Chain A
Amino acid sequence: MARQMTGAEMVIKALQDQGVEHLFGYPGGAVLPIYDELFQQEKVKHILVRQEGGAVHAAEGYARSTGKVGVVLVTSGPGATNAVTGLTDALMDSIPVVCITGQVPTHLIGNDAFQECDTVGITRPCTKHNWLVKNVNDLARVLHEAFYIAKSGRPGPVVVDIPKDIQFASGNYVGPSNIAHKTYKPKMKPDQPAVREAVELIANAKRPIFYTGGGIINSGPKASQLLRELVRLTGYPITSTLMGLGAYPASDKQWLGMLGMHGTYEANMAMHDCDVMINIGARFDDRITGRLDAFSPGSKKIHVDIDASSINKNVRADIPIIGDCAYVLEDMLRIWKAKAPVIDKAAHKVWWKSIEGWRAKKSLSYKNSSDVIMPQYALQRLQALTKDRDTYITTEVGQHQMWAAQFIDFEEPNRWMTSGGLGTMGYGLPAAIGCQLAHPKSLVIDVAGDASILMNIQECSTAVQYRLPVKVFILNNEYMGMVRQWQQLLHGNRLSESYTEALPDFVKLAEAYGWKGMRCEHPADLDDAIKEMIDTKVPVMFDCRVAKLANCFPMIPSGKPHNEMLLGEDVSDEEVGRAISKEGKVLV
């Protein structure tokens, strides 16, 4: 039923009708009418961030930990441009975000007005879709459409740009209805012949592996349940991308750990030597495949993806299946149970024996020390002391992120928030804030590096304002560790600008924001310190002083295939320096 109201009222009404409880934003001239409406109601709670970039990452953390859409409200010009990194991040990792931006009044668009920028032009390549609303009567429909497009199909960020005069203008409000979009129709259910063919191939596999990704998480908790059922029914090994951690429990014996550039030896070797690869909701990213022409050369590949453009993009699929992971898994299970196939148990026994051989290499092992805290050890202790709690982990980007992926075990989906595709330093703290807001009673920890944390440090203030007791666990080695590691590998250990000479005193910095600050420098003190951090009811910044020059292993050097991994234990500095060929050096 149509109702007359102003554009600004429509924004709030649409958010309420979409069930939005939290909104991350920052006010400014071009969104004042919307902020005025926000002030006069209580259903939608606004979280004031300290920079718009933080708002989008917070919305991402909120979305990824709940499965809901994250919502952002920012002003025109710099408000919108500050949001661009977060939008790109959400696009790369398929996170549903609705970002509402203010715009200068329609008659000023194109005039280089104060705080004007071409928001839809700038955000076109970094959103799933965007709109500039020039007629108030379109506004409600566009807002509901925005939510639908953000969360359906392959999720992603959308932008709705609303000029200030449209916010003041009056028009008809329409509620959310069953939107049958005229052009956008994501394909959820797979073609049955392809699924049957896939089940047949899976049943006849001798050296199978499940390779899963963020698509399982995005599909929802049901997809994770179905995946567990299928994997256990087959008894096959399973690995996952960075984005897919938690879909399958890390404590299970069929779990091989993460694969890819810093994945485990057993996961990568199994990918390389398998005869049937079952990719569900992953996209053959370059961090996963390594050198493409040597990627799993002897396998038939099943690729399940909701996005047809992901299929055959990097790696040819023998059986492509387009559809939502949950629907596909449901069909696979049904067909599998109906057929009750006889699988080649003898072959699988041999296959598991090879895998156990690779596992025995203990590729995540490192040389521990009783004098300095090894970063891996710090995370092992963090894992051990948090595993029985209701814990959510976010990260920044770099070595600490890869170590967290390696050493923290996830048993459930939606517990792990990290910037995978874009690799955005500064993601973790605002994402933790968004996550903590959605889960106020849970333990939310941002595993951070000393460089990354400074990229969105201002959000400490947001955590205090809303009493969000997030924990920031900084693996402080005074370096941009991953940059330094690559300089050692690629550039003769010339550490150009990767050392931070003037780091702040993180304890005092924390205290200045009203956080608790802690520091730990000796392995012997670590457990008690971590326990103290966990038990503290206010935000804590934990400055964990770790070994300065530790490298993240194992590693597939750039330009190398999966079966040429560098393992940490037996690699000398010289070998590290020689590991990447001239051709490999130009790769990222």
Chain B
Amino acid sequence: MPNANPQTHYSAPAYSQEVVSRTLSVLVDNEPGVLARVIGLFSGRGYNIDSLTVTETEHEKHVSRITIVTRGTPAVIEQIKHQLERLVPVHRVRDLTLEGQSLERELALVKVAGKGEKRIEALRLAEIFRAKVIDTSIEHFVFEITGKSSKIETFIGIMMELGLVEVSRTGIAAIGRGASSM
């Protein structure tokens, strides 16, 4: 049996759990090296990062918000949360997936090149997806699209057939619903 719990040398822990995907919001002091601490924790302890977004969100207080999408068994996710909380510059860690309905959005810039029918079809589909054209020439478009990751995946999938040449994605930004803050 594969080692379901990477925290130990010993195989087959008594509690085996299935792997889940979670979105974590981490508020940190925006000091030098803070991102390296977070990423180093993930690589050093063998955790996964599926998506990572970070920028300063409160300039006066120098607070940054890091949004991490990770995968693991619930026990591993609990470990990740506690390990993050142990880092000195970390204010708070929230498991947005666990704490209920959260909003998750991503932005992508999608470059599509082509002529004739395919070009017209790309533009028509972009309108359906509410993607904006932010750059164009007679042989390309750059679309800006926001939404859930699944919507962006679908859009990119379709554009592959219509001359997709390049994609840049921001990774997920997430926030909890309702009036309260984290």
Contact = CB atoms under 8 A, between A and B. Distances in A.
B10 A291 contact: yes
Interface in B1-57: 5, 7-15, 28-29, 32-33, 36-37, 40, 44
A584 to B, nearest CB: 9
A230 B1 CA distance: 42
B82 interface: yes
Contact of B78 (A121, A289, A312): A312
B88 interface: yes
Given A292-B14, A293-B12, A309-B82, A314 B29 contact: no
Nearest to B9: A587
Given A124-B33, A125-B44, A182-B29, A293 B14 contact: yes
A308 interface: yes
A54 to B, nearest CB: 26
B86 interface: yes
B10 A312 contact: no
Given A286-B10, A291-B10, A313-B79, A124 B36 contact: yes
Nearest to A126: B44
A290 B29 CA distance: 40
A125 B15 contact: no
B32 A308 contact: no
Contacts of A286: 8-10
A181 B32 CA distance: 17
B47 to A, nearest CB: 12
A182 to B, nearest CB: 7
A124 B14 CA distance: 33
B89 interface: yes
A183 B40 contact: no
Contact of B85 (A181, A289, A308): A308
Interface string A554-588: 00000100000000000000000000000100011
A149 interface: yes
Tell which of A289, A307, A308 has the most Cβ of chain B within 10 Å: A308
Interface in A295-334: 297, 307-309, 311-314, 316
A92 to B, nearest CB: 13
B75 interface: yes
B16 to A, nearest CB: 9
Interface string B71-92: 0000100110011011011110
A129 interface: yes
Interface in A141-190: 149, 181-184
Contacts of B13: 292-293
A128 B83 CA distance: 12
A120 interface: yes
Given A120-B33, A124-B40, A292 B8 contact: yes
A74 interface: no
A128 B9 contact: no
Interface residues of B, number: 29
A132 interface: yes
Contacts of B75: 312
Contacts of A125: 40, 44
- For the residues of A in contact with B, the DSSP-based class is loop
Interface in A100-137: 120-121, 124-125, 128-129, 132
Nearest to A322: B82
A69 to B, nearest CB: 16
Contacts of A309: 79, 82-83, 85-86
Contacts of A181: 88
A314 B11 contact: no
A299 B78 CA distance: 23
Interface string B83-126: 10110111100000000000000000000000000000000000
B14 A312 contact: no
B24 to A, nearest CB: 15
A183 B88 contact: yes
Nearest to B84: A309
Nearest to A284: B8
A588 B33 CA distance: 33
A307 B82 CA distance: 9
A269 B28 CA distance: 46
A286 B3 CA distance: 15
Contacts of B89: 183
Tell which of A184, A286, A292 has the most Cβ of chain B within 10 Å: A292
Contact of B32 (A132, A183, A583): A132
A336 B8 CA distance: 35
Given A120-B33, A293-B12, A312 B88 contact: no
Contacts of A588: 9
Contact of B10 (A124, A311, A559): A559
B25 to A, nearest CB: 15
Nearest to B31: A131
A308 B93 CA distance: 13
Contacts of B28: 183
Nearest to B36: A124
B79 A312 contact: yes
Contacts of B5: 292, 314
Given A124-B40, A132-B32, A314-B8, A184 B88 contact: yes
A588 B82 CA distance: 26
B135 to A, nearest CB: 35
B7 A313 contact: yes
Contacts of B91: 182-183
B6 to A, nearest CB: 11
A587 B44 CA distance: 19
Contacts of B78: 312
B86 A307 contact: yes
Contacts of B83: 309
Interface in A54-78: none
Contacts of B82: 307-309, 311
A559 B82 CA distance: 28
Contacts of A149: 88
Given A121-B36, A124-B36, A312-B75, A583 B11 contact: yes
A583 B9 CA distance: 11
A316 B86 CA distance: 20
B28 to A, nearest CB: 8
A139 to B, nearest CB: 15
Contacts of A312: 75, 78-79
Contacts of A129: 88
A290 B10 CA distance: 8
A292 B10 contact: yes
Given A286-B10, A292-B8, A309-B79, A128 B33 contact: no
Closest CB pairs A-B (n = 5)? A309-B82, A129-B88, A293-B14, A587-B9, A308-B82
7 contacts: A132-B32, A183-B28, A183-B88, A292-B8, A293-B10, A312-B75, A313-B79
Interface of B: 5, 7-15, 28-29, 32-33, 36-37, 40, 44, 75, 78-79, 82-83, 85-86, 88-91
Given A128-B88, A181-B88, A289-B8, 5 more contacts: A132-B32, A183-B29, A292-B10, A309-B82, A314-B8
